[in-house]
Amino acid sequence: MPLPRTPCSQFRSDRLPRSRSVAETQGTSGSRGAALKVLLAAPRGFCAGVERAIRMVELALKKYGAPVYVRHEIVHNRHVIESLKAKGAIFVEELSELPETTAPVIFSAHGVPQTVAAAAKAHNLFYLDATCPLVSKVHAEARDHYDGGLEIVLIGHAGHPEVVGTLGQLPAGAATLVETEEDARRFCPRNPERLAYVTQTTLSVDDTRAIIATLKRRFPGIVGPRKEDICYATTNRQAAVKAIAARCDALLVVGAPNSSNSLRLVEVARAAGCPKALLVEAAADLPWGELAGVATLGVTASASAPEQLVDEVIAALRARYEVCLETVVTGEERVAFNVPRELRAAGTPE
């Protein structure tokens, strides 16, 4: 059955009492097929930590020339990695893969265990740390709790580089990883009176709240962060998705399969009432079959996905549908982080 061709003007922004629907609702783009209402979530895409990390690689390339080595994907996005490779960045997983070099080595935004910085120093490497300041804040909390004699619960996902980096701030055995509410129910501390928790920055806000509630119910004296560890960007992107999910027949998260941020947005969309939430890496991967019969499509992008990928997705949708685009704004962000002093003099990236 053909989808109804609904004029943009019939989509009412007042269906979203707690969000602001931008009057950028744009007209259709010619008679290309069925009508498709696209709800574009805002905020979406790059966060301040990702922008800083990418800028650091670009500035290092400008100041020191190629190659610049980067330990681990600077941020989890293939498009970003390929574009930095084209400019002269070389990505390695471990410092042991590096040749003899005086070129800079940059640590990714996810943070690294202390042993990595120590190994870099021991080998006289010139390294620059692109760990997001909000991840560094969690590292500092974890070290403070340890120094204060507390046993630490780290809420996060096993194997994620950020979790590896946070655990690596502490001696082995000082922290226990808790991934689920079930883990929180089973956790047996050495001393229930001497406990603290920290979290990965890119978790589901709701799942984490439930895990923390379980820990607090069992251990009322557990010490938590003064300000949440889940970062502003994760929180805002999830809130933006929640605001549109129930209005969407399907929702696309532009992101990467190894990006925690991206995967959480897919889960949040489903939990908030969107029947079909899908991760796409780029316009070329759009799952056209899955979109058959979809009248309202949500679009967002994870904190490591460049806006260019969103633009290309919208352009691909316009090529197939009569798109009516509405941006739904649930918050504004003005966060920016400085690059390290060594790179400030390099000016702006080329």
Neighbours of 347 (CB within 10 A): 10
Nearer to ligand SF4, 35 or 156 (CB): 156
Closest separation between CB of residue 16 and ligand SF4, Å?
25
Total length of the chain: 350
Restricting to residues 16-75, which ones interact with ligand SF4 according to CB under 6 A? 47-50
Task: Indicate which single residue of 40, 59, 233, 251 sits in contact with ligand SF4 (rule: CB under 6 A).
Answer: 233
Check residue 291 and report its DSSP letter: G
Nearest alpha carbon to residue 40 among 251, 341, 337, 203: 251
In whole angstroms, give the CA distance from residue 87 to residue 310.
22
* CB proximity list for 104: less than 8 A, separation 6 or greater: 60, 64, 68, 69, 126, 127, 128
Amino acid at site 146:
Y
Of 51, 58, 73, 162, the active-site residue reads 162
For residues 84 to 123, the per-residue mask of contacts with ligand SF4, x marking binding by CB under 6 A and - elsewhere, is -------------------------x--------------
Q: Would you say 47 or 95 has its CB closer to ligand SF4?
A: 47
First to last CA, the chain: 50
Q: Is the four-CA dihedral 227, 231, 236, 241 of positive or negative sign?
A: negative
Binding-residue pattern over the window 284 to 323 for ligand SF4, x denoting contact by CB under 6 A: -------------------x--------------------
Angle in degrees, CA 140, 161, 263, rounded to 5: 110
Q: Which amino acid is at 207?
A: D
Q: How far is the CB of 135 from ligand SF4 (least distance, A)?
A: 5
162 a catalytic residue: yes
The CB-of-224 to ligand SF4 minimum distance in angstroms stands at: 17
| Residue type (1 letter), 289 | G
Q: Look up residue 121 and give its two tokens.
A: 């120093």
For the bound state, the minimum distance from the C-beta of residue 132 to ligand SF4, rounded and expressed in Å, comes to: 3
Closer CB to ligand SF4, residue 110 or residue 242?
110
Q: How many residues form the binding site for ligand SF4 (CB under 6 A)? A: 15
Q: Measured on CA atoms in the order 84, 96, 110, 158, is the torsion positive or negative? A: positive
In this structure, the dihedral spanned by the alpha carbons of residues 279, 230, 238 and 204, taken in order and rounded to 10 degrees, is 60
Report, in angstroms and rounded to the nearest whole number, the Rg of the chain calculated over CA atoms.
22
Q: Does 202 bind ligand SF4 (CB under 6 A)?
A: yes
Residue 132 within binding range of ligand SF4, rule CB under 6 A: yes
Query: Between residues 231 and 291, which has the closer beta carbon with respect to ligand SF4?
Result: 231
Among 135, 150, 286, 343, binds ligand SF4 (CB under 6 A): 135
Q: Is residue 21 within 8 Å of residue 327, measured between CB atoms?
A: yes
Binding site for ligand SF4 (CB under 6 A): 47-50, 109, 132, 134-135, 201-202, 231, 233-234, 261, 303
**Which residues are catalytically annotated?**
162
